[in-house]
Amino acid sequence: MNFLKVLAGTVVCALGMTAVAEEAIDIQGFAKRGQAIPVSLSGFSGEVDSVLRTDLYVIGFDFVDAAAAKFVIAGSNNGHVEGSVRDSLKNYLMNPKAYSGGSIRAQAHAFANDIAKAFGQTPIFFGKIAYRKGSGDKGEIWVSDFDGGNGMAVTQGGKQVMSPSWVPGRRELVYTSYKSGAPVVYLQNLSTGDTRPIAKYGGGSYTPAVSPDGNRFAFISSMSGRLDLYISDISGGGAKALTKNPEDEASPCWSPDGSKICFSSRYKTRPALYTISANGGETHRLSVGGVQNLTEPEWSPDGKQIIFTSQMGSFQICVVPAQGGEAKTLCEGEDPCWTPNSRTVIFSRRKGSGRILSLLDVPTKHVKDIAQISGSCSQPSWAK
């Protein structure tokens, strides 16, 4: 009798455990299938509720009622945020946690980060962004929290500024400014304000991109009389051309291991994507099916995908495996930049006569405009 009870209990436990294990496997499967994970959200109100709904939406969750939810996110925000995540069998995926310190908005983002981690994702919600705010040839580089909070201009003078890009791991930006009368790439330390030119040559220096180890940067220059791809020490010394050809290179980006640069260049008069070793050598055209006119590539932090802007009438954000293949069209927009989780992307899109910043979850195609960033903003870069 007792033996049978023990055996029955063991069987029931085993069944329970296999059910939880099935859920754990399933989490990864959702992203692979391009599906959002259905969750219910309860107990939150006001700003906390809206922050959680926005954050979780752009990392691949859908909000449903409790009966349809695979996971239940519950908590409260009376003075401070508290919350937990449980699966449909009421097992904790994330144990109850209370947050303290900082603003209630920051606590909500901290909770969203912990939820992301519970689901095996890299958290992104304390990310900083840089972008160009302005229209026409007047504008400044702004830096803010990814949701627009704590925003401030880091340049002044109203001259034309373009394409800010972060130095990995540091509070430093590279960008192009026309303040000297020609397009020059500057390196700016955001903590000290120290700003120095690091690519100042004949013609214009455009679209700088810093290597993952922070020691070098790639840029486009017309100093040769044609638009070519150059590489240089981050100090500005040692510049050398990686391409010397009549075609025109544009928009370089680095592979996450720092070995290759991907850029846009013309192939039979249309823009296509190419890669080249960061040490120079032959360029290789990326074989991409299904789209035309590939520009503005960015390599995902996990190395697996390249996202880019395709120009076929309208502009579309598209993604392709890093070794080439069929491209997937994701949404209307331009100038995408990956966040560290290799699924969420910040980009800009046209709205009215200007542009706004927006977030896209690549596997689910969820899109959400960053409502709190005002004015015409474009060319976003997410801090690495």
Partner 1 sequence: MKRSRILNLMVVALAVVLVATGCKHKGVGVTELPNRKISYTPIGKSTDSERGVSLPSGETPTGTPGAIPDDISQKGSNLLNDPNHREDRSALAAETVYFDLDSATVKSSESSKVQEVAKYLQSNLSYEVMIEGHCDERGTEGYNLSLGERRALAIREALINLGASPDRVHTISYGESRPADQGNNESAWKKNRRGEFLVLMPAQ
- Which of positions 131-190 make contact with partner 1 (CB under 8 A)? 136-137, 160, 162-163, 178, 180-183
Q: Report the site for partner 1 in 38-77 (rule: CB under 8 A).
A: none
Rounded Cα gap, residues 53 and 61, in angstroms: 9
CB of 90 to partner 1, least distance (A): 20
- What are the structure tokens assigned to 70, written together? 């695979």
CB of 45 to partner 1, least distance (A): 36
Q: Distance from CA of residue 216 to its chain's centroid?
A: 21
CB of 67 to partner 1, least distance (A): 23
- Cα separations in angstroms, 137 against 156, 177, 179, 374: 13, 11, 11, 18
Q: Does 243 bind partner 1 (CB under 8 A)?
A: yes
User: Which residue in the set 79, 90, 101, 282 belongs to the binding site for partner 1 (CB under 8 A)?
Assistant: 282
Q: Report the site for partner 1 in 307-346 (rule: CB under 8 A).
A: 309, 311, 315, 321, 323-326, 334-335
CB of 153 to partner 1, least distance (A): 18
Q: Does 225 bind partner 1 (CB under 8 A)?
A: yes
Q: Report the site for partner 1 in 348-377 (rule: CB under 8 A).
A: none
Q: Report the site for partner 1 in 13-32 (rule: CB under 8 A).
A: 14-15, 18, 21-22, 25-26, 29, 32
User: Which residue in the set 101, 237, 246, 352 belongs to the binding site for partner 1 (CB under 8 A)?
Assistant: 246
User: Which residue in the set 111, 125, 201, 254 belongs to the binding site for partner 1 (CB under 8 A)?
Assistant: 201
**Within 13 Å and on the Cβ side, how many CA atoms surround 249?**
31
Instruction: Kindly state the number of chain residues that form the binding site for partner 1, as judged by CB under 8 A.
Output: 72
The stretch near partner 1 (CB under 8 A) out of 41-49, 63-71, 114-122, 218-226 is 218-226
Identity of the amino acid at 165: S
Token look-up 């030119």 returns 197
- What are the structure tokens assigned to 287, written together? 């074989």
Q: Report the site for partner 1 in 105-124 (rule: CB under 8 A).
A: none
Rounded Cα gap, residues 110 and 118, in angstroms: 12
CB of 227 to partner 1, least distance (A): 6
DSSP string computed for 49-99: HHHHHHHHHTTTEEE--TTT-SEEEEEE-SSS-EEEEEETT--EEEEEEE-
CB of 345 to partner 1, least distance (A): 15
Rounded Cα gap, residues 130 and 284, in angstroms: 31
Q: Does 220 bind partner 1 (CB under 8 A)?
A: yes
User: Which residue in the set 61, 119, 217, 274 belongs to the binding site for partner 1 (CB under 8 A)?
Assistant: 274
Q: Does 287 bind partner 1 (CB under 8 A)?
A: yes
Distant-in-sequence contacts of 81-84, Cβ < 8 A, 24+ apart: 81/44, 81/48, 81/107, 81/108, 81/110, 81/111, 83/43, 83/44, 83/111, 83/115
